[in-house]
Structure 1
Amino acid sequence: MDGGLIFLYLTILVSIVGFSYVAFKFGRDEFFSLKRRPIRFNRKEQKIHTIRRRRFFAKPGEGDVTWEVPWNAQSIFCMHRSDKATDDSYHIRHYSVDEQGNVVRAFALGRQWEGKRNLEGLLSQWNYWCEYMNKGPADLPSPPLFFSERENMRESLLFCMYEMGFTAGTVFRLIMMPLILFFTSHRLMALWTCRDTLWPKSVEAVSAIAPDDAYDQPRGDTPVGWAETAIARARHDWPFDPKRKVENWRGEPDGAKNALLWAQHTPPPV
């Protein structure tokens, strides 16, 4: 066999092995996994159902690996800061403990918020869930964005671009475009190698939405995805950052100052 052909085969083989190693080590939860890991807040059952990881050999009706936690006074939720010293990011985390008080498992709820300046958004997200689970959806403000469940290449590009700043200027976006395209390529690879979530039949049975549910969203003229939402915001047809005051709040009235108190492990009285 020609030496050049052998070298070509070896190069291809090494490339495949190297990519597979990197994809498995650093992206095993990103590639060949799930497109989304949704969480269902079940008011009727007073429980939270969360998809944890893909089940490759599921039995009929078993679905993907799903955890269930109760929504009650005994459940432990907290604001968690990243364990990395150089990473100033936060999220809401739930802890399950045994009879001796030892943590047996934990998981994050919702998105990750970068930096202390975004802690107000994190607490707003938490208050939104509490309002829904404790009182219902009647008085909740509209969410800033409904993500598209069928994301195309344009939506992936806009996701990576707007994640770097929804109100960023044109010059900033042009400078950051190489990095945006790099992130977009990895996001597309993840989407193309992953599949949709499969909920267990037991969860589907208690999570069905009535066809005439007045609060079922998105529907009608509600914008879905970054592109439609950006256009709707420009027309003032959709709120940019809707908020509502928490009833009977007795803590720090300034939302930003209140968030910083939580970050300093001195939460205000409520």
Structure 2
Amino acid sequence: MSETQDYSTYSAAEPPLNLRADCEQCFGLCCAALPFAVSADFAMDKAAGQPCHNLQADFRCGIHTRLRETGFRGCTVYDCFGAGQQVSSVTYGGVNWHQAPDTASQMFEVFPVMRQLHELLWYLTEALGWPAAGPIHHALADMLKKTEQLTMLTPESLLELNVGAHRGEVNELLLRASELTREAVRRNLKQTPKRQKNYGRGADLIGAKLKGADLRCVSLRGAYLIAADLSGADLRAADLIGADFRDTNICGADLSSSLFLTQFQINAAKGNAATKLPARLTAPTHWLD
């Protein structure tokens, strides 16, 4: 495949630091607020609001360097998009749930709400970097500002917030940005993609054999790609928002300009040194294991 193909209509904006997890500035919220069940990803059951027994008094994980070996693979996949430090440092002003035990249960409920808002901020920031989405840049910027304002609400207001309704508003803009960008890329391609299957939202592609597939500009929004073989596939300008990448083989795949790809998805997949990722994402260390 030619390396001179034009993807100039795509350029993801670098997300600000507040959308990247900073565990040093967090009160171990993902380790306390979220539930998990014994499985291939977790070695034990834990209820929501129950601190993991590996969480230390300084809010650091006692087995951080051995998570995968000790049965906590899920912890190495999770990403909060910076919601942890926002709740810890801003929403609660740096007062942790050890210092104020009466805030613990509320703080643990606020965290998942903030995580959803920060995920939306990640997507909106990315879409604002796409020149082809220019016709709706103003609307995207307004929605970004509105979402940022929501992250500054009080704990009580955050818990009353209808996040689902807000997500629906944001999704309409993200879908339009995706359509504009993918259509622009299609027009600019010097070699047009071969006739491609039309994948509907939430497509069941569990275990699918898509090795080396030309998936440029396709929509895989919400697709179940669990354990699918996408090795060597071309996913440039493919819309991957919400796609389930658990154990997906992306060794040698080109995701360098995939749309709405997150670190959370990359962490869940199986890749290697030949996997091409967007500059804003990093290859997880466990890919080298």
Sort the TM-score into its range (normalised by shorter chain). Answer: under 0.3
TM-score (norm 1): 0.23
> Which protein is bigger by CA-based radius of gyration?
1
The structure with more strand, counted as a fraction of residues: 1
